[in-house]
Amino acid sequence: MSPTRRSAVVVAVLLLAALAMWTSAQLAWLRIAHPGFTAATTGGQLHPELTALAALALAAVAAVIATTGWSRGVVGALLAIAGAWPAWRCATALASSGRPVGPALGLVAGLLMLLAGVLTLAWAGRMAGLGVRYAAPGAPGHRRERPGDWWRALDGGEDPTDPAPSTDPGRER
């Protein structure tokens, strides 16, 4: 599988997890019916962290794309932990309250987040990133992209064709 496809798979799983988590928080998890009175409690009221975890899954999309190497592995580990928590909470709610849709969807969302974290950990070094275009100017592999950058480099005394330009003005040429 190509690095771009790996990134796309993780992003798709995270987007599905965010949607499922947010939907689970909006659904009724508990209904109480008495003659003339019915009350419903949503998942977000019972477990307010569900909405925050949905936002976390969306933020993780940007974090997975923007990071590389070991920092992407840290993001993956945090995602796995963050996905295990709602999966466990929703599984216990599901076991104690029968089979409502809200906790079941929350369980699926937590498992999807957990899966995204595990995939990110496993593929940390083999996923596509933002690329050289977004790297800092001094970062290895940074190339000048516009003709004006080449002229500014020449004016600054650098060789724009040098693959590893030095910022040391006293460097031998």
- How far is it, in rounded angstroms, from Cα 13 to Cα 81? 16
Write out the two tokens for 6.
């790996």
pLDDT by residue (tens digit) across 99-134? 789 999 999 999 999 999 999 999 988 888 776 556
Return the percentage of the chain with pLDDT > 90, whole number.
Answer: 53
Q: Return the SS3 of 37.
A: strand
Q: How much is the pTM?
A: 0.74
User: Where along the chain do its domains lie?
Assistant: 3-126, 144-173
| Torsion angle of the four alpha carbons 132, 133, 136, 141, in this order, in degrees rounded to the nearest 10 | 30
At 147, is the pLDDT very low, low, confident or very high (cuts 50, 70, 90)? low
**What's residue 127's pLDDT?**
87
Q: Which of 23-32, 35-44, 160-169 has the lowest average pLDDT?
A: 160-169
Write out the two tokens for 83.
């996905």
**What's residue 96's pLDDT?**
84
Q: Return the SS3 of 152.
A: helix
For residue 141, pLDDT beyond 60: no
pLDDT by residue (tens digit) across 32-77? 888 889 998 899 999 999 999 999 999 999 999 988 888 999 999 9
Short-list 16, 30, 161, CA closest to 94: 30
For residue 160, pLDDT beyond 80: no
> Mean pLDDT in the chain?
85
Question: What number is the average pLDDT over the span 7-31?
Answer: 94
At 155, is the pLDDT very low, low, confident or very high (cuts 50, 70, 90)? confident
**What's residue 149's pLDDT?**
74
Write out the two tokens for 62.
């940007």
